[in-house]
Chain A
Amino acid sequence: MSELTPALLWLIPVAPLLASIFIAFFGKALLRGRSHVPCVTALAISTLCAGSLMLMFLAAPSQLKPDPNTNSLHQRPSEHALQPVLTTPGYAWAETADLNVRLDLQMDAMTAIMLCMVTFVSLLVSIYASGYMHGDPGYPRFFAAFALFVFSMCMLVLADNYLTMFIFWEGVGLCSYLLIGFWFQKPSAAAAARKAFVVNRVGDFGFILGVFLIWKTFGTVRFADVFELIPHVAETNPGIFTTICLLLFLGAMGKSAQFPLHVWLPDAMEGPTPVSALIHAATMVTAGVYMVARSTPLFVMSPTAQMVVSGIGAITALLAALTALTQYDLKRVLAYSTVSQLGYMFMALGAASVSPKLATFAVTAAMFHLFTHAFFKALLFLGAGSVMHSMGNVIDMRRFSGLRDVMPHTRITFLIGSLTLAGCPLLSGFWSKDEILVALFEGTKAGGHETFFMVILGVAVLTAFLTAFYSFRAYNMTFLGEERFPEEAHHPHESPPTMTLPLFVLAGFSLVIGLFLGPTGVYARQLAQSTSLPGHGDHPHNILLMALSAAIFCGGYGLARWMYVKSPAVSAGLERGLKPLHRLSLNKFFLDELFNYLLVIPVKVLALLCTLFDKYLLDGLLNFAGSIPSTIGRIVRPIQNGLVSHYAWVMLLGVVLFLIQMLRALAG
């Protein structure tokens, strides 16, 4: 551990920030078509830094000794032995006796993993975007917002307290808003951006309330201090944990698109595809999972909250998977798939309540799935973007098919992505999904909620089947069958190398990363060092479940092949036969409409009333209030009439008044 470490740590978020500022200031005038250069460079630097720090962690966790001089590194006390945390004294805005505002960075195993994933995927996506966004008039704006997002995301995972986390939580939300509405001239894009922002607000409200409650209960918002005080608070006020956890989870539901706050994510696909890949699949939406995982010590104190997490996760996973079955918009299929997979992660996180021994395993399973999911989902989205690029921005799968010969590179990488998502044995999605299933299975054996977890496990298995089915439905409809192009596609072609190269890299990672890190236990060992986890626990295996999920994969794959390749008539017949169900799924269970009637219309009526009130009453009052200063100003200004003797009299009067007042005050 060298003295460079804090600098490296700081460089990870700062490099994208500088790039963002640079592009924002000079992008339009100087860089124009080269605006991606600073962004890609900065992200490469960040990736290198994150990677080298990760290697340090991997190499010798026991070498991370406390450094008495700089205090930059400290070991968690006794029970958390061998759980190194790297904290760098950061930027102190104000430090006085009673005011202490500072910004420190903290890095432990969980942060390191997240950082590596975030910086690496965003590097690839930014390279991809340099090709995808080429020629767009907002090219510099895109990369400025992109780099700003990476900065915010890195700061979010590097935060050492809940408040900083919340600030950058809002930061990523803002960047997401900017990027969803990147083509703000398009009304649907602007509406989607607004929807994402508003729905996220609901979650953020819960999050900030949770942070306040933490602050009130613990007197601090620093992770380390809060976790240390848990036993103390558990004695005095055990009931508070459920409230805190549910509020925090509300925040996670908003950001990670959990039912019923998931409605914004499919709409967010209005943004440029690289944004969908990075923000709305790989990184930002996993912030909720990260936050809940980071708060594991709090969540294990409240089994009730854990059950809610699991339950919501299960509902989301199932609903989203069902919706994804019938969507025709390729990006929307992937979006619902993302929602569904995030639900999967939450199911696993909820299983941490079963027993303290299992907590580490359950959280590890969720984080592992988060990790692998980032790669293959980014891959799928970028593949979809490549298709879109070639098809003249058409993404409706009914309008094209049989692209396997036109876009061989995209096809092969998309196939790998689909296989991974579907859980093909030995690919990374298989390993991480299997761990989640094992965690849930363990839940049915121990603890007091066997039945509950039985249901959850059932849902998970069903969802896995649906996942396999819809991912191959999408693949088959797009790349197999007869060759058809929409008329918007003037000359269908394979995407340029800047776009296919990231696809191949991601595909490579999707293929092997699960096998390397999952069954070998590398990932679990590494993550177990995180301060948020209670330490090494059991690592159960279950051959039976593995076999089951392999069988599920085969079933889903086969069904999709049969319905969409072998005998397409079947799918059409099924569609007609199950019309009500099909419509239900196609229309996303009418959730948007439900929201519309239940929330949006009443709110609009209320808003109309408020507008009237505002226009006729408040505006009048406000204008009146606004005119007060200038009116008084007009009244007092004649006092300053420029006449010397006049001034002198006013001064004299002032002295006399002051004197009288002083004497009265002293006498009284």
Chain B
Amino acid sequence: MHDIGSLVDQLVESTKTSVGLFVPELVLSGTIVVLLLCRILPLVWRVPTQWIALLGAFTAFGWTLSQFDQLVTPSEALQVKTLFTGLLKFDEFSTFFRMFLSLFLILTITLTVLTGIPDREDAPDFYTLLIGATIGMMIMASANHLLMVFIGVEMTSVPSYAMVGFMKGRRQSSEAALKYVVYGAGAAGVMLYGISLLAGLTGTGSLPEMAERLSMIVAQGQGISDPTNRTIVLASLMVLVGLAFKLSVFPFHFWCPDAFEGAAAEVAGFLSVASKAGAFALLVRFGLAFSGQSKEVSSIAFALGIGLGVLGAATATFGNLSAYGQSNMKRLLAYSTIAHAGYMLMSVSALLVLRFSKQAGAEADVASLSCIEGLMYYLFVYLFMNLGAFAIVALIRNQIFSEELDDYNGLGTQCPVLCFGMTICVFSLIGLPPMGGFFAKFAIFYSVFKATSVHWVMWLVLAAGAINTVFSLFYYIRILKAMYVKPRPDGARKVTYDLMPVGLFVLMVCLPVLGLGLFPARFSETFHHVASLLLTGR
């Protein structure tokens, strides 16, 4: 039994090191436990629930921040590792996303404190769900194994369903939740089936191993006529369906407007940013998992890249066009998030196209770096600007009890701080300089432009992106027009609000949007570094 002994030793060793690096997730899990128990423990019950949640979130953020800091500084304090015998990847890329998600968790909890959307009774459950979903996203971002891919997606989805339906008494909320759960479960099922096929064909669940075996298998077969190869294409497509659903990519976006309109604006803001961030991290990992030596695998990934480009263009176009004529703010912003997912998908597409093109060389490597850099930058800006937009919708709702665009008429003079914040977010969403959205969009379009030299379809994608930017202008401007140009109807409710905390929160969200636009050099440098580490795998 010498073998088993060494195996156990190995396991213990791996777990010991892994747990140390897994602390942020463990802290969040601990917070969940406290939140679940707090009703039983009278002493804890007296502490406001949101402070407990906030404490956990801050701890997790601080921890991931310090990890990220250690990773990106060249001191080599922490090596790139895989956690738990290769289930999770611990590198700069995943740590960036974990940091990103915990930061976002802090902002969302702060927002819910301000808007008071979960009442005292429901608060523990709400924060449990919120934190649980965040852990799921963190796992998604660091998944290194098909099992973790699935667990991450499910851990994100299941609490999200419940959160969308959290306003139990509202008809719209329950309808939104039902639709979301039905599609979500369906997409997860299809994804799981794809995973099972992939795992079976390659005989492994670990993503790096899978990449090696895939290139072996595909190289042995006779091109695309080989049933094995076809199955691989089908299986990867099924996995992509699951991700596309999370990303609300056309034509898997149907749930998004309905769910966002039915859910509270806070939840919609959370889902629109966080679950997309996790899913994009996963998509990049999954796409890069194809990197092998064999030409055939490359050609599959290349075709996938082109396909994603077309999907991205279609998504952006569909999202922007549908946003026209929307009267509900949450629905309008939901379509806008769909469009933004389309832009981000373009950069993933450019990444795959550049990396797996036939004339791949040093230049293509540099260019594919800029794709990841652009995606990360976009996500980072998107975090603030989209959360800002949804948060302001929620804060205004608390004042005027409406989320209809028509009721925003003339608000510009009544609550200048909120409207000014909205203006900044909207300008950034359009992509106007000097907001962060401008540089982000610029970075993505730039990487797509680089990819145009590889395949002509990317020209179409680029053109679609550019046209969509113009399209989007009109419906975003409608928001500003309502707030600043149209007069406040007579007899409309007078708006009064507590300036300090709300103003501070808006400032907290809007300043980064501006800062990311005015000083992009520092951030893009960091992202560039992270991207290069991800691609070279050190």
Contacts and interface: CB of A to CB of B under 8 A. Distances in A.
Q: Direct contact between A and B in the complex (CB less than 8 angstroms)?
A: yes
Interface of A: 91-97, 99, 626, 629-630, 632-634, 636-637, 640, 642, 644, 647-648, 650-651, 653-655, 658-659, 661-663, 665-667
A655 B241 contact: yes
Contacts of B307: 658, 661-662, 665
B520 A662 contact: no
Given A92-B521, A658-B237, A662-B307, A647 B183 contact: yes
Contacts of A648: 183, 186
A662 B251 contact: no
Interface in B412-426: none
Given A93-B521, A629-B321, A634-B325, A662 B252 contact: no
Sorted nearest first, the 4 A-B pairs with minimum C-beta distance are A633-B324, A654-B251, A647-B254, A633-B321
Nearest to A641: B254
B303 A633 contact: no
Contact of A629 (B320, B366, B525): B320
Contact of A632 (B233, B255, B321): B321
Contacts of B321: 629, 632-633, 636
Nearest to A665: B303
Contacts of A662: 233, 237, 303-304, 307
A224 to B, nearest CB: 22
B56 interface: no
A632 B307 CA distance: 23
Interface of B: 179, 182-183, 186, 190, 223-225, 230, 233-234, 237, 241, 250-252, 254-255, 257-258, 299-300, 303-304, 306-307, 311, 318, 320-325, 366, 370, 439, 446, 471, 474, 518-521, 524-525, 528
A666 B304 CA distance: 10
A640 B525 CA distance: 41
B252 A651 contact: yes
Given A629-B474, A640-B322, A663-B224, A95 B525 contact: yes
Contacts of B233: 659, 662-663, 666
Nearest to B528: A96
A636 B318 contact: yes
A653 B230 CA distance: 19
A637 B325 CA distance: 9
A92 B250 CA distance: 38
A661 to B, nearest CB: 7
Q: Is the interface of A mostly helix, strand, loop or mixed?
A: helix
Given A636-B321, A655-B190, A663-B233, 17 more contacts: A91-B519, A93-B518, A93-B521, A94-B524, A96-B528, A99-B446, A633-B325, A634-B325, A640-B254, A640-B258, A642-B258, A647-B254, A648-B183, A654-B251, A658-B311, A667-B223, A667-B225
A637 B322 contact: yes
B179 A644 contact: yes
B306 to A, nearest CB: 7
Nearest to B256: A640
B299 A666 contact: yes
The interface centre, meaning the residue of B223, B320, B370, B520 with most chain A CB atoms within 10 A of its CB, is B520
A634 B186 CA distance: 29
Nearest to A646: B254
B254 A650 contact: yes
Contacts of B474: 626, 629
A95 B324 CA distance: 37
Contacts of B528: 96
Contacts of A95: 521, 525
29 contacts: A93-B518, A93-B520, A94-B439, A94-B524, A96-B524, A96-B525, A99-B446, A626-B474, A629-B320, A629-B324, A633-B321, A633-B323, A633-B324, A637-B322, A640-B254, A644-B179, A644-B183, A650-B251, A651-B251, A653-B251, A654-B252, A655-B190, A658-B237, A659-B237, A663-B233, A665-B307, A666-B223, A666-B299, A666-B300
B521 A633 contact: no
B175 to A, nearest CB: 8
Contacts of B518: 93
Contacts of A665: 303, 306-307
B452 to A, nearest CB: 15
A633 B190 CA distance: 30
Contacts of B318: 636
Contacts of B234: 659
A187 B233 CA distance: 71
A557 B241 CA distance: 91
A626 B473 CA distance: 12
B39 to A, nearest CB: 35
A630 B325 contact: yes
B311 to A, nearest CB: 8
Contacts of B519: 91, 93
The interface centre, meaning the residue of A96, A634, A659 with most chain B CB atoms within 10 A of its CB, is A96
Contacts of B224: 663, 666-667
Contacts of A97: 366
B521 A94 contact: yes
A647 B311 CA distance: 17
Contacts of A626: 474
A496 B234 CA distance: 87
B538 to A, nearest CB: 20
Contacts of A647: 179, 183, 254-255
A91 B306 CA distance: 38
B220 to A, nearest CB: 16
Contacts of A663: 224, 230, 233
A99 B373 CA distance: 14
A91 B521 CA distance: 10
Nearest to B253: A640
Nearest to B300: A666
A655 B325 contact: no
A633 B324 CA distance: 6
Contacts of A94: 439, 520-521, 524
Given A650-B254, A662-B307, A636 B520 contact: no
A648 B303 CA distance: 25
Nearest to B252: A651
A654 B252 CA distance: 8
Contacts of A96: 370, 524-525, 528
Nearest to B255: A647
A95 to B, nearest CB: 5
Nearest to B324: A633
Contacts of B237: 655, 658-659, 662
B322 A633 contact: yes
Contacts of B471: 629
B56 to A, nearest CB: 36
Nearest to A101: B521
Contacts of A655: 190, 237, 241
A665 B182 CA distance: 32
Nearest to A102: B521
B323 to A, nearest CB: 7
A94 B446 CA distance: 13
A630 B439 contact: no
A97 B311 CA distance: 30
Contacts of A653: 251
A630 B524 contact: no
A83 to B, nearest CB: 30
Given A647-B254, A651-B252, A655-B241, A666 B322 contact: no
B388 to A, nearest CB: 21
A407 B252 CA distance: 82
B399 to A, nearest CB: 23
Contacts of A633: 321-325
Contacts of B322: 633, 636-637, 640
Contacts of B325: 630, 633-634, 637
B471 to A, nearest CB: 5
Contacts of A99: 446
The interface centre, meaning the residue of A629, A636, A658 with most chain B CB atoms within 10 A of its CB, is A629
A647 B306 CA distance: 25
A632 B241 CA distance: 26
Nearest to A629: B471
